[in-house]
Amino acid sequence: MNTNTSLSRGHAWQKWLWRLLAVAALAYLPVVLTDRAAFGVALSNMQLLNLGLTQVNLMLIAMLGALSLNYLTGSAGLISIGHAAFYATGAMTAAITGSQLGWPFPLVLLSAAVSGALVGVLAGLPSLRVRGLYFVLSTLAVHHVIVYVFLEYQFKFFDVVGIPFAGAKLGGWELNTPIRWYFFLLALVVLVYAGFAASLRTREGRAMQAMRDHELAATSMGVDVRILRLKAFGLSSAVASVAGALFAYLLTNVTSEAFGITFAIQFIAMIIIGGMGSLPGALVGAAIWLLLPSIIGGLAPRSSEAVGLTRLFLVEGRAQFVQLIFGMLVIVLLIFAPRGITGLGRDIRQLLASWRGR
């Protein structure tokens, strides 16, 4: 008994130690990427994997979108290909309240969340009547409607040059540097992750997952699946809409072309790569999707004088090569590891644990 207690305490200390190391690494990362050095030692672009703080900030915003879609599709079982519409809703709301009306940045984000939730509930209404492919097509229709509205709004008030966004301020603290954006976005990702995780542990969250696994059984247990669907859509789209507003402010200028169907499909790819229904998987999938092209791009300068397949893949056809890798990764994972990279990691850990127990 004492041995078991000491072992559990040891595991708890190890867990807290790893968490502290992760916090320290995340806090020091922007310094490394800005100074291009670690602890006074200069690092090459190759050693830094060709990454910059701007890519990391875009990754953090993508993580918000991936978390929200994983909550909707992975946890609630509602497949949607209209996620870009919620991003566009947030960007358009930010343009109206921030660029035109001059509201403070926190109120802009709040208005984006509210408008996103309303659009999400409307987008979820067809789920009360249709299922499967018909519902997926309804989310595609929502995507085209919102993008069309965004395009008309852009041309009416800002023309083809796009919608400009002023600097974001939180009180007297202006988000005018990549480092400030990094810490703000990192804190927001942590809060959203914790919120989704807490939501899934509640009675309603467990009922939602039961609805995903077997809707008829959940209904027989007294679960009102209609309300749950609309709540899942409202919460997911609110977070995605806030991410869209942040995306617009970070880029300082956006057009309707930024929210095409490809933009929506990339979030589906993220949660497939990371692991459907896994919140950590959403983070992993977003990180791979956003950072891998930059990492591969870092190989190109070294191969600029290469010949043959190396030159073809890394210099002349780098964009196509990245898309090929993503496509093959999704196919391989769907066939051999349908639970994604995080699910594969859990399987490997369980296998290693079983070998140690022999």
The token duo for 237 is 């789209």
Residue 101, domain member (yes or no): yes
Which of the two residues, 5 and 181, has the higher pLDDT score? 181
pTM above the 0.85 mark? yes
Residue 8, domain member (yes or no): no
The answer to whether the CB of 99 falls within 8 A of the CB of 164 is yes
Per-residue CA distances from 60 to 42, 265, 284, 286 (Å) = 26, 18, 11, 8
Mean pLDDT value of segment 18-28:
90
Instruction: Indicate which CATH number applies to the domain containing 249.
Output: 1.10.3470
Of the candidates 334, 299, 165, 304, the one whose C-alpha atom is nearest the C-alpha of residue 244 is 165
The answer to whether the CB of 333 falls within 8 A of the CB of 273 is yes
The percentage of the chain sitting over the pLDDT mark of 90, rounded to a whole number, equals 54
Residue 252, domain member (yes or no): yes
The token duo for 76 is 């609630």
pLDDT digits (tens, 9 = 90+) for 91-134: 999 999 999 999 999 999 999 999 999 999 999 998 878 777 88
Residue 245, domain member (yes or no): yes
In the chain, the number of structural domains is 1
Reported as a pLDDT band with limits 50, 70 and 90, residue 3 is low
pLDDT digits (tens, 9 = 90+) for 241-271: 999 999 999 999 999 999 999 999 999 999 9
Q: Which residues of 181-190 are buried (b: 16+ CB within 10 A; e: fewer)?
A: bbebbbebbe
Domain range for 273: 22-356
pLDDT digits (tens, 9 = 90+) for 270-309: 999 999 989 999 999 999 999 988 888 777 655 555 566 6
Residue 5, domain member (yes or no): no
Residue 123, domain member (yes or no): yes
What span, in angstroms and rounded, lies between the C-alpha atoms of 109 and 121?
Answer: 18
Q: Has residue 208 got a pLDDT over 70?
A: yes
Residue 13, domain member (yes or no): no
